[in-house]
Amino acid sequence: MAEPERWRWTETDPLGQPIHCGEAEWQHVLARHRELAPYEAMVRAAIRYPQAIYDDLEGTERLANPAGMVVDYMVPAPAEDHFIGHWLKVSVKWLPDGPGGNTVGYVQTAYFLPGPKYRVQLRWRRSA
């Protein structure tokens, strides 16, 4: 397991799952989705307080670790003209980490999209 200083931030999701994001991971997100630069706090909040959490079946199939999975955290996008009707998706790899096989999440990417992909399955939804 990496040292705590390695992480830019760590959040815990509603299921009690710790999710880490390092400086390199955040810069990777921004390299592909520069529009997220002012929304880092929203990305973090999407993990803490998602509207829904989905299992990404196709993404999981691509993982090198068969014990891992890809999970998407979804929240409505900000109410700004170019984001109206969109969602913020934060993709996280859940991998066994350390003795005992405890699962830890690592941010893979984040971006705005019109809605969940067809290939995902609902894992958890915020109750009304």
User: 1-10, 13-22, 53-62, 108-117 — which is least confidently predicted?
Assistant: 1-10
> pLDDT tens digit string along 28-66?
999 999 999 999 999 999 999 999 999 999 898 889 888
Residue 65 lies in a domain: yes
Residue 127 lies in a domain: no
What mean pLDDT do residues 7-26 have?
96
* d(C-alpha 33, C-alpha 12), whole Å: 23
What mean pLDDT do residues 64-76 have?
93
Residue 3 lies in a domain: no
Residue 49 lies in a domain: yes
Domain enclosing residue 112, as ranges: 9-122
* d(C-alpha 69, C-alpha 73), whole Å: 13
pLDDT at 2: 47
pLDDT at 81: 75
pTM of the model: 0.90
Distance of CA 122 to CAs 7, 51, 53, 57, 95, Å?
28, 11, 6, 11, 19
On the question of pLDDT at 93 being above 90, the answer is: yes
> pLDDT tens digit string along 50-60?
999 999 998 98
Residue 1 lies in a domain: no
Residue 102 lies in a domain: yes
The count of structural domains within the chain is: 1
* d(C-alpha 4, C-alpha 50), whole Å: 24
Residue 80 lies in a domain: yes
How far does CA 47 lie from the centroid of its chain? Answer: 6
